[in-house]
Each structure stands twice: as structure tokens, then as C-alpha cells.
Amino acid sequence: MFIEASKVANPEVAKHLADNNVEVLPYGEVSRVLWSITDKKVAFDENSCNAELSQVLKDKGIHVDNIVQYTKAAKNPVEMQGMRNVNIKNCASLVQFFAWMEDHLRTNPKSEMTEYTAAKKLEEFRKTRDLYVGPSFDTISSIGPNGAVIHYKPEEATALRMDATQIYLLDSGV
């Protein structure tokens, strides 16, 4: 494993690696070690590998598309059920939020609610769910012309006031 030793200095981690015959070398050694391999092929993704390693592996490597992403994407049954469970909880929070917002704007047409406070209100609904940790990215809460701004993040001081006559865009995740 090529990583700085300080990042795996925890005694439990070091023992686990040693017990599994994992040798820890500084990342700066990766080229030297790869050059020394003469009897094996090494899988690598030439689309994400740096130029130096691509050169080293040119004749001794086997191109494999996105090996790390494919490995991360493979989910076991426990992970899949966990994703289903969180989706159910998140969908419940979204339905609760949209019902609240529709009612709020209908009964308070001059409401001071903004894109910013709407995003905060959604967060309040999500926080009521068991095991909620937090958003996976900044919530995009935008109304009217701000809906056309890519990756728009409402700021408290500049957020537009909510208006039931304009399209509201919400993009958020848990």
C-alpha cells in the first residue's frame, strides 16, 4: 500500500495491515516499485492515472476502466437496504416539507419566507428522522430567475422571497 506512514500510524490499523501481509510504503515509491515488477501485469485506468504512472505501466499494465469506481459502486445487501431506508425517510421529509410550504404560502401570501429559510425548514424536517447525519451537498433552493443559476446556493442576505406564482427548484440530498 502506497501511503504516508503517519496516515496509518494507529496501532490497530498497523496491526491489521501487518496481519494481512500489507506492506506500507511512501507514495513516492510507487514508480520505483512498479518499474521493478517484471513477471506480472498491473491493472490501471489510463483515463485517471497520472502521466508518470501511465508511462511506467504502458507495457506492463492492463487497462481497466474505472476499477475503483466500479468497486465502490458494488453494494452488498446491507448497503442496499440502508439506501432504501434512508430514501424512505428522506422522501417522507420532502413530502412533509412541500405540504408545509404549500399550506404556508397559501395561508400567508405575504410570507417573509425566502429560498434560504425554505432550505433551513427542509433541514428541520430531516433532522426529526432517526439516524439523520446531514446534507450530502449544499441545498439548491431557488425561485424564479435563480432557478436558472447552476449550483445556486441561497445566502441569507440575498435570497429571494418565496412566491407561490413562480417555479421553485429544490435539489438536495442526504
Cell of 83: 439506501
The answer to whether 128 touches 122, Cβ cutoff 8 Å, is no
Residues 125-148 have a mean pLDDT of 95
Q: What's the mean per-residue pLDDT of the chain?
A: 92
What pLDDT score does 17 carry?
92
The dihedrals phi and psi of 42, each to the nearest 5 degrees, come to: -120, 130
| Beta-carbon contacts of residue 172 (< 8 Å; ≥ 6 apart) | 119, 122, 135, 137, 139, 140, 141
pLDDT at 38: 84
Work out the pLDDT band at 129, boundaries 50, 70, 90: very high
**The total number of structural domains that make up the chain:** 1
CB atoms within 10 A of CB 87: 11
Among the ranges 46-50, 66-70, 159-163, which has the highest mean pLDDT value?
159-163
Pairing of strands 140-143, 168-171: antiparallel
Q: Note the pLDDT of residue 42.
A: 87
pLDDT attached to residue 103: 96
Distance in angstroms (rounded) separating the CA atoms of residues 21 and 6: 18
Q: Which pLDDT score is estimated for 61?
A: 85
147 pLDDT tier (thresholds 50, 70, 90): very high
Q: How sure is the predictor about 71, in pLDDT bands with cuts at 50, 70 and 90?
A: confident
Residue 159's pLDDT is: 97
For the CA atoms of 150, 155, 158, 161, what is the dihedral angle to 10 degrees? Answer: 90
**Would 105 be classed as within a structural domain?**
yes
Q: Is residue 147 part of a domain?
A: yes
In a domain, 144, yes or no: yes
pLDDT of 25 > 90? The answer is: yes
Domain membership flag for residue 129: yes
CA distance 111 to 107: 9
Residue 112 lies in a domain: yes
139, part of any domain: yes
Instruction: Say what the pLDDT of residue 75 is.
Output: 93
Q: 123 is in which domain, residue-wise?
A: 77-171
Has residue 106 been placed in a domain?
A: yes
Q: Whose grid coordinates read 500510524?
A: 9
CA distance 131 to 129: 6
Alpha helical stretches, state H, 58-132: 67-73, 77-107, 115-127
- Is there a domain that residue 27 lies in? no
Say how far apart CA 6 and CA 157 lie, in whole Å: 43
